[in-house]
Structure 1
């Protein structure tokens, strides 16, 4: 018997990427899963994959930016599976482009999906746990919830809000025994989101190096479900990048745009479009994207050298500060 065997978990964003990988991993471990996203077509594929692993899986179609839709999805999941032991929230949306170039309606919807969707899911999860005596909520944050980068304001903005909301929920959960809230914040991950995202740069995005497989993030999510922790970073360079952002902001600001152009944007031309921000695009949904580690080695080396330089500089600053004090 695995640790999650016999438990019921609702997973948002279950049609693609990290959410899909998490749902499949939970199914392999014997959990019953409620699969939530906007795409019934893609969810049907994931449902079949979960059932092939011997797990019970139900589809609950909802748009996380629509509170009533989320509430109805939770009610249906509980009707079919009973009380939820856990909720994993990974749904998000984004559009690449300079802030002034992203159409207001696309920017607003991306923020509503990523931040408003987190609030809607968290509200329903906490109500469900209160009724059943407890449960575990795991929210997918991002390295971009701790730093900033050009061309991604529609994602950076709500992810900073997601991190703040989760931290508040964790503090408040101290007075509600049995309720746990965890944050997972990955760096670059090989998922389809970069090609699914909107773009107003004539280029698609791509994951910045080093790139992790979605299964690595899913393992951290499942572990946090049953062994909650305040936050978990997934990505070997995350802490170095955050340190550079906080300790050397002037250096970070000089380096981040060329590094973003080199490692965060595709070379292929693309037609400007909202991508899946306004409507789902089920044909492109899968666990993996096309961004394995092999193609990014030269960029990763350059980024690693830059990060190492920033790390050494920050160490020097801290050493100098200690001597002065």
Structure 2
């Protein structure tokens, strides 16, 4: 393929940084955007070539529009726009200050909406383009202590599907969504926190590089959604098919696996302002934690298998109007 022009919002760390490096290694021209200039410049140096750095906050529509103009002024087009910018807050809903909750939803839902608006305007004008948004497994499920993040990601999933419906008249415009499971990135340790313990990605944990490669894969071969995570589908199945079992297990598992044992005072983290990048976090797990994850997976799998067996063994007959009625 020829070299592409790729705009990356959220490029200063985590998945965005990994994707930027992967695109640059492939020979694509990259435009790097995030709130923190110092970290962006470090990523640009790692990318090499003529990487363009444009500090921008996705929650500020004017800055997103200026980012699009800067990319067009430098390169003349935008072929791919990958948005991975996000912030997070831990804590029970009632313990999270309202202004922090609102800011997380703004950054993780209205921010991507700003990006989509700017990207689609360019794509419509040039007749092609691929928009990639980063959702999350918690855009398909819910978990205690993550109400704001989950709310935003569920909304982003709805927005992405709507955009796909509204661009059906433009076959060369693609709207894709990456759905990562647990990833070793700074978002957990830099998150706002009102849960009392530093957050961490529950096992199994993927690398940011694997997710960055998935972003490139979506750019190469656009598809509606790409879920990356060994247990994503199992967890989603448990959430949808067995709500009582899921709700029974998710609280204890989140407390054991989603929060570390390192205490932390209440803090707004990087929700309102960027912080210097520190890759990774307390993602190491002892045998007890790994055992808890395995036990939870086994429990879900066992109940799922039982439910499927019972469903297969239940005879059905057709009744008036075509409705399926269980035979007694």
- TM-score scaled by structure 1? 0.94
What CA distance in whole angstroms lies between the structure 1 residues aligned with 2:263 and 2:75? 45
* Pairwise CA distance, 1:301: 3.3
What CA distance in whole angstroms lies between the structure 2 residues aligned with 1:291 and 1:26? 28
Q: 1:263 aligns with which of 257, 260, 266?
A: 257
What CA distance in whole angstroms lies between the structure 2 residues aligned with 1:147 and 1:247? 12
* Pairwise CA distance, 1:82: 1.7
Contact 1:136 1:226 in 2 (8 A): no
- Select between 258-267 and 305-314 the one with higher mean Cα deviation: 305-314
Q: Does 1:289 align with 2:286?
A: no
Query: Over residues 35-64 of structure 1, what are the superposed CA-to-partner deviations in whole Å (9 max), with x where a residue is unaligned?
Result: 01111111111111111xxx3211111110
Q: 1:319 aligns with which of 309, 315, 318?
A: 309
What CA distance in whole angstroms lies between the structure 2 residues aligned with 1:191 and 1:321? 40
Q: 1:142 aligns with which of 132, 136, 141?
A: 136
SS at match of 1:212: strand
Distance 1:223 1:297, change over 3 A: farther
Q: Does 1:209 align with 2:206?
A: no
Q: 2:27 aligns with which of 30, 33, 57?
A: 30
Contact 1:203 1:268 in 2 (8 A): yes
* Pairwise CA distance, 1:269: 1.0
- Select between 306-315 and 191-200 the one with higher mean Cα deviation: 306-315
Contact 2:200 2:281 in 1 (8 A): no
Q: Does 1:10 align with 2:12?
A: no
Q: 1:226 aligns with which of 210, 220, 224?
A: 220
* Pairwise CA distance, 1:298: 4.2
What residue number does 1:41 align with?
Answer: 38
Aligned residues: 315
What CA distance in whole angstroms lies between the structure 1 residues aligned with 2:282 and 2:210? 14
SS at match of 1:11: strand
* Pairwise CA distance, 1:171: 2.0
Query: Over residues 269-317 of structure 1, what are the superposed CA-to-partner deviations in whole Å (9 max), with x where a residue is unaligned?
Result: 1121100001111x2x15x30355x535542332122112212212221
- TM-score scaled by structure 2? 0.93
Q: 1:308 aligns with which of 292, 295, 298?
A: 298
| 1:1-325 aligned within 5 A | 3=1, 5-51=2-48, 55-281=49-275, 283=276, 285-286=277-278, 288-291=279-282, 295=285, 298-324=288-314, 325=316
What CA distance in whole angstroms lies between the structure 2 residues aligned with 1:298 and 1:17? 27
SS at match of 2:195: coil
What CA distance in whole angstroms lies between the structure 2 residues aligned with 1:56 and 1:300? 44
Structure 1 unaligned residues grouped into runs of 5+: none
What CA distance in whole angstroms lies between the structure 1 residues aligned with 2:181 and 2:61? 28
Contact 1:180 1:228 in 2 (8 A): yes
What CA distance in whole angstroms lies between the structure 2 residues aligned with 1:27 and 1:66? 27
* Pairwise CA distance, 1:318: 2.3
* Pairwise CA distance, 1:26: 0.5
Task: Give 1 or 2 for the bigger CA radius of gyration.
Answer: 2
Query: Over residues 166-198 of structure 1, what are the superposed CA-to-partner deviations in whole Å (9 max), with x where a residue is unaligned?
Result: 111122222112101111101110011111110
What CA distance in whole angstroms lies between the structure 1 residues aligned with 2:147 and 2:186? 19
What CA distance in whole angstroms lies between the structure 1 residues aligned with 2:53 and 2:213? 22
Distance 1:296 1:9, change over 3 A: farther
